[in-house]
Amino acid sequence: MNEAPYFAPYPRARSPVYSRWWLSGAALLSVLIVGGKLFLADLYEPRVMIVGMVGVLLLWLTVFLLRVLYVHFNQHFAHTYTETARQIQRAWWTRHRQQVALVEAVLVGPVCNSVESRMKLFTPDHQPPVAEKVDGGLAMRLRQLKGNGIAERERKLAMLLAMQWKGQHETSIALHPLRCYWQGTASAWAAFVEQMASSCPQVKLPEHPEPWQGLASLDVIIDQLQGAAADARILCAGCASLPPQANSRLPAGEAAVLWLLGTQGGVRFCRGEWFAAESEDLATVAERVLQQSELDKPAPACVSFAQPTIAELAALNWNIRPFVQDANFGALGSLEAMVVQTLAAAYAQTHGVPCAWLGNDPHHTLTLGVVKPDDSRT
């Protein structure tokens, strides 16, 4: 679980009831005086009696002072404990609410190849593509890509992604990213690098990128970009072409996505939250997403793929149904989350409102998050 640190209240000592202490002291003094005259005057000298009475009173006073000191020390420790707990909680929430800017995004799929086409997915008159019959079942394919082999199509998808990125710029791209993440095969990455070297030789990409690990990678990226230079960039990309399966719930889909993340200059990705079905309630996680994003109510829209195995989604008070992307992309496997985050970013940028997203993850049952509009424009 990804809960904020919780600290139980410090056990408080009860303050002494001073009136009772003064009454008990007065009663003790009376007993000593009266008892000494009535019972001890014939047995002890007056000097011995006085010393004994003073000793008993000093013992009472010592106990009283220790009781007062205990309460004062308890209050001091409780105050220190409470302030330290608050500082730890504030630091946790400060880090937990850190964000990163999506400076640029590219999404290539059966229904979108440009920034404009992404937004058409949310219009009432949008018609999803029709799946085609291929060997092995149904599939949703990019018509401009030829070939039936999955590895071949993924390489062509990666090359198309590079060309689409170049096509979004009127001038040549110059970039040396701090890190590069890739969701997909090594051969597809090699094709992407090769095409970028041809189309944009001023973009310097490593031979071996870091594997994209979903929310875990996004956390690392946000950490690294905190306090980084304004021109610091991290590149995240991936592509997938799934093989058709006869009994699959969805047609096999294919898509490619690219993010250029920085410190400012685009819609804001929050860290996101994860849901583990065996250890936490989904409504609790959803509430923490809103706290993380500093929202007092759910975002107006939530982009996702259907999650039929998660029954708790039916009771979640998020606007999910109108923005489910199954019919537009088909099954995308591990690329699902990056696609929905890209579409949520497009929605937030166009409408100027937060947009939520739900997606799969390599390490968790489900991940949730919010994309917020670019705060530098407000």
DSSP string, 117-176: HHHHTTSTT--PPPPEEETTEEE---TT---S-HHHHHHHHHHHHHHHHHHT-SS---B-
- pLDDT recorded at residue 46: 59
Low-confidence ranges of the chain (pLDDT < 70): 1, 16-18, 21-57, 60, 64, 376-378
Rounded CA-CA distance 85/80 in Å is 9
DSSP state string for 71-113: HHHHHHHHHHHHHHHHHHHHHHHHHHT-EEEEEEEEEEBTTBS
* CA atoms 148, 154, 155, 161: torsion sign: positive
Residue 49: what pLDDT?
56
pLDDT of residue 51: 60
pLDDT of residue 112: 83
| Tokens 């799929």, residue located | 109
- Look at residues 225, 236, 124 and name the one whose alpha carbon lies nearest to residue 189: 236
Q: Which amino acid is at 12?
A: R
| CA nearest to 303, candidates 324, 318, 282 | 324
Bridge partners for 24 per DSSP = none
Q: Where are the alpha helices (DSSP H) in the chain?
A: 18-35, 46-96, 115-120, 150-167, 186-199, 215-225, 282-292, 326-329, 336-351
Predicted confidence at residue 300, as pLDDT, reads 95
Upper half-sphere CA count for residue 296 (Cβ side, 13 Å) = 0
Q: Which residue from 191, 121, 186 is spatially nearest to 161, judged by alpha carbons?
A: 191
